[in-house]
């Protein structure tokens, strides 16, 4: 099987409201940056393009097609889309390369969440008969998950506050972060409840932005003559859409995906976890079996800025950046989709 390399990655700043800037305008700067990193001109220079976005955010069917305008439509390209986080667009692109249909691929994800009421928009992706008619929002579902963990003594509110504190402090070194600062766990615990038992700081901010990545075969990376890291494993698993039938205090699908991706085959220097809510970072850390030797969410994670449909791809990109910078030799990136960590993708990235 062909080894696959990451050769370029870029993310826009996560901002609370980009105003009149549209999706194409969000995407174009990150595309220009990854083309420059890989030393190529445009989407004509890769064999395949795959994007991740959510039509519900734009409020129109096939809204993602407008994003293709960022690529240029002539001459025709081979292009695909997932109505998921772009981490799954990366997965599709890897399959394309492994099947021998492409040697290189451009992946991008984008989300402009500010125009709508995001927790309510996401409620319409739930079970259409049993949950969507109630308009139960994503924050409330996460709050119920947090309370289960608290009730069962598996976490404390202080544990959650420590996750937030570390995120805010790490994010000070991330120029793309939306929320950063010297916030102590005590500062967090002093905040009033929001959707009890969650405080606002336990929840991700609503963000606008995009990210993009270029992957290719190792042979191609060498021919382009650019630094690269190797994706040594990738797997994803999903749990039931019936939250009552899941153990919400664990992430069984993350554990299975990590086994499938070969996470345990070596040390893990860095982990970037897509944990939209503070308690979920603890659930994921346990499911992945990460210990003190692993630097978790050095970017601040998505509590510092949550680009819907791009944050999963960005986790992989953050690990790639740290390996290229020489800060890490091997790392894990996690992406999630669905309520309360329903669907999880685990990617292992290693130094070439």
131 binds other proteins (CB under 8 A): yes
135 binds other proteins (CB under 8 A): yes
- DSSP states along 245-267: GS-TTS-HHHHHHHHHHTGGGS-
Task: Classify strands 208-217 and 4-11 as parallel, antiparallel or unpaired.
Answer: antiparallel
Q: By CB under 8 A, how many residues form the interface with other proteins?
A: 33
156 binds other proteins (CB under 8 A): no
The pattern of x and - marking residues 319 through 348 that bind other proteins according to CB under 8 A reads ------------------------------
Distance CA 118, CA 245 (A): 26
What is the CB neighbour count within 10 angstroms for residue 101? Answer: 12
239 binds other proteins (CB under 8 A): yes
Q: Which range of residues in 5-13, 91-99, 140-148, 175-183 is near other proteins by CB under 8 A?
A: 140-148
- Taking the least distance from each CB to other proteins, the nearer of 192 and 326 is 192
- Taking the least distance from each CB to other proteins, the nearer of 57 and 86 is 57
For the bound state, the minimum distance from the C-beta of residue 341 to other proteins, rounded and expressed in Å, comes to: 15
The pattern of x and - marking residues 189 through 228 that bind other proteins according to CB under 8 A reads ----x-xxxx------------------------------
186 binds other proteins (CB under 8 A): no
- Taking the least distance from each CB to other proteins, the nearer of 2 and 200 is 200
Among 87, 13, 152, which Cα is nearest to 319's?
A: 87
Among 326, 337, 329, which Cα is nearest to 302's?
A: 337
For the bound state, the minimum distance from the C-beta of residue 152 to other proteins, rounded and expressed in Å, comes to: 10
51 binds other proteins (CB under 8 A): no
Distance CA 352, CA 350 (A): 6
Torsion of CA 279, 285, 287, 288, to 10 degrees: 160
Asked if residues 83 and 100 have their Cβ atoms less than 8 Å apart, the reply is no
For the bound state, the minimum distance from the C-beta of residue 251 to other proteins, rounded and expressed in Å, comes to: 16
148 binds other proteins (CB under 8 A): yes
Residue from 129, 153, 175, 292 in contact with other proteins (CB under 8 A): 129
Q: At what angle do helices 278-287 and 157-170 cross, to 10 degrees?
A: 90
Residue from 15, 122, 136, 180 in contact with other proteins (CB under 8 A): 136
Distance CA 258, CA 142 (A): 23
Residue numbers 89-128 binding other proteins by CB under 8 A: 117, 119-120, 123
For the bound state, the minimum distance from the C-beta of residue 23 to other proteins, rounded and expressed in Å, comes to: 23
For the bound state, the minimum distance from the C-beta of residue 141 to other proteins, rounded and expressed in Å, comes to: 8
What is the CB neighbour count within 10 angstroms for residue 15? Answer: 18
Euclidean distance between the first and the last CA atom of the chain, given in angstroms as a whole number: 16
133 binds other proteins (CB under 8 A): yes
Distance CA 105, CA 101 (A): 10
Please identify which residue in the block is written with the tokens 């991330």.
Answer: 174
Residue numbers 245-304 binding other proteins by CB under 8 A: 245, 248
Asked if residues 257 and 236 have their Cβ atoms less than 8 Å apart, the reply is yes
Distance CA 105, CA 88 (A): 13
- Taking the least distance from each CB to other proteins, the nearer of 18 and 149 is 149
Burial 197-218, CB ≥16 within 10 A → b, else e: bbbebbbbbbbbbbbbbbbbbe
For the bound state, the minimum distance from the C-beta of residue 164 to other proteins, rounded and expressed in Å, comes to: 18
For the bound state, the minimum distance from the C-beta of residue 344 to other proteins, rounded and expressed in Å, comes to: 16
For binding to other proteins (CB under 8 A), which residues are involved?
A: 117, 119-120, 123, 129-131, 133-137, 139-141, 143-145, 147-148, 151, 193, 195-198, 239-240, 242-245, 248
């Amino acid at each position: 099987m062909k080894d696959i390399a990451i050769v370029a990655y870029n993310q826009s700043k996560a901002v609370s409201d980009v105003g009149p800037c549209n999706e194409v305008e969000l995407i174009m700067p990150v595309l220009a940056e990854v083309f420059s990193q890989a030393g190529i001109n445009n989407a004509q220079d890769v064999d395949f393009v795959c994007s991740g976005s959510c039509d519900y955010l734009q409020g129109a069917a096939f809204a993602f097609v407008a994003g293709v305008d960022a690529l240029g439509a002539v001459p025709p390209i081979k292009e695909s889309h997932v109505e998921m986080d772009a981490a799954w667009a990366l997965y599709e692109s890897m399959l394309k390369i492994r099947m021998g249909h492409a040697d290189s691929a451009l992946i991008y994800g984008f989300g402009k969440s500010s125009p709508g009421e995001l927790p309510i928009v996401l409620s319409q992706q739930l079970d259409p008969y049993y949950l969507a008619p109630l308009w139960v929002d994503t924050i409330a579902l996460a709050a119920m998950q947090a309370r289960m963990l608290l009730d069962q003594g598996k976490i404390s509110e202080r544990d959650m506050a420590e996750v937030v504190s570390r995120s805010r402090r790490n994010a000070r070194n991330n120029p793309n972060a939306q929320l950063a600062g010297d916030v102590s766990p005590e500062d967090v615990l002093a905040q009033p409840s929001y959707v009890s038992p969650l405080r606002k700081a336990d929840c991700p901010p609503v963000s606008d932005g995009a990210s993009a990545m270029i992957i290719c075969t190792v042979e191609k990376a060498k021919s382009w003559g650019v630094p690269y890291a190797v994706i040594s494993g990738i797997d994803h698993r999903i749990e039931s859409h019936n939250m009552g039938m899941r153990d919400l205090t664990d992430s069984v699908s993350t554990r299975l995906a990590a086994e499938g991706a070969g996470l345990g085959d070596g040390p893990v220097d860095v982990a970037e976890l897509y944990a939209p809510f503070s308690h979920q970072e603890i659930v994921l850390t346990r499911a992945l079996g990460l210990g003190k030797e692993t630097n978790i969410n050095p970017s601040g994670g998505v509590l510092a800025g949550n680009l819907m449909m791009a944050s999963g791809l960005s986790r992989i990109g953050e690990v790639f950046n740290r390996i290229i910078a020489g800060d890490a030799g091997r790392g894990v990136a996690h992406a999630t989709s669905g309520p309360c960590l329903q669907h999880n993708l685990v990617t292992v990235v290693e130094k070439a």
